[in-house]
Amino acid sequence: MKVQSTSGLVDLPELRNRVRVFRDRVHAGQVLAGMLRPYRKSNAIVLGIPAGGVPVGAVIAEALTLPFDVVVVSKITLPWDTEAGYGAVAFDGTVRLNERLLARLRLPADDITKGIKKTAAKVSDRLRRFRGDKGLPDMRGRPAILVDDGLASGFTMDVAVEALQKAGADQIIVAVPTGHHGTVEELTAKVHAVYCPNIRGGGRFAVAEAYEIWSDVDEEEVMTILEMFKS
């Protein structure tokens, strides 16, 4: 594994601009764990973004002997396409919208308001299910390794970073298996470091194309994983 680091961005040159480089999310987590080895048995905490970031993050946490938790964030999807998003809502109510995309789409203001409310309700439901009454751990003075299964537009990750910063995290490390080069570069300027083994360019980008096996992660799988880390 040849790791290359440039100004806070760490990737694997041999995986650049390639597709189908991971068997599944578990394999992706193993690759990232190897890159993040310096944090093994440190005071860092791994935080997965449900749902797809949870299985990736759990593998990292287990391999590095680190605590694992979740940061609940969800993208705001288009009324006619539940896979495409135009923003995101975080656990603390932070909202980020893709204004450039909305300008092109000319989505009615009422639809945007409904989309935000629907996503906020989803985040609230997931918070109750995944965290119960438990608050976020104290992240001051410790690395917070924030994990998702990929970065396309980056809006979900952006709002997660902003919410964690508001919660007191002062050293955020983003770890994602795959990401669009433009998104990754923009994110690197906002956090302590970004670990992304598979960086791809081009006008079209799909997270799923980095994986041989890809499927949605349901909430039951997230709950099962979280149970494994309960002390």
What is the per-residue pLDDT across 194-220, written as a single tens digit (0 to 9) for each? 999 999 998 888 999 999 999 989 999
What is the per-residue pLDDT across 115-144, written as a single tens digit (0 to 9) for each? 999 999 999 999 999 988 788 888 888 999
Q: Are residues 89 and 200 in the same domain?
A: no
Q: Are residues 221 and 177 in the same domain?
A: yes
Q: Are residues 144 and 197 in the same domain?
A: yes
Per-residue tokens: 20:
């189908």
Q: Are residues 114 and 188 in the same domain?
A: no
Q: Are 6 and 189 in contact (CB under 8 A)?
A: no
Pairing relation of β-strands 172-175 and 95-97?
A: unpaired
Q: Are residues 86 and 66 in the same domain?
A: no
For residue 211, the 8-state DSSP code is B
Of 107, 130, 153, which marks where a domain is finished? 130
If one counts every other C-beta atom within 10 angstroms of the C-beta of residue 124, the result is 14
CATH number for the domain including 221?
3.40.50.2020
Of 91, 114, 130, which marks where a domain is finished? 130
Whether pLDDT at 3 is above 70: no
Of 130, 146, 161, which marks where a domain is finished? 130
What is the per-residue pLDDT across 62-120, written as a single tens digit (0 to 9) for each? 999 999 999 999 989 887 876 678 889 999 988 888 888 888 888 888 888 999 999 99
Whether pLDDT at 7 is above 80: no
Q: Are residues 10 and 80 in the same domain?
A: no
| pTM given for the model | 0.91
Q: Are residues 67 and 142 in the same domain?
A: yes
Q: Are residues 145 and 61 in the same domain?
A: yes
Q: Are residues 106 and 146 in the same domain?
A: no
Whether pLDDT at 192 is above 80: yes
Cα 146 from Cα 144, distance rounded (Å): 6
Q: Are residues 52 and 91 in the same domain?
A: no
Share of the chain above pLDDT 70, in %: 96
Cα 1 from Cα 179, distance rounded (Å): 18
Which residue range(s) make up the domain with 58? Answer: 4-73+136-228
Q: What is the DSSP string of 140-185?
A: TTS-EEEE-S-BSS-HHHHHHHHHHHHTT---EEEE-SEEEHHHHH
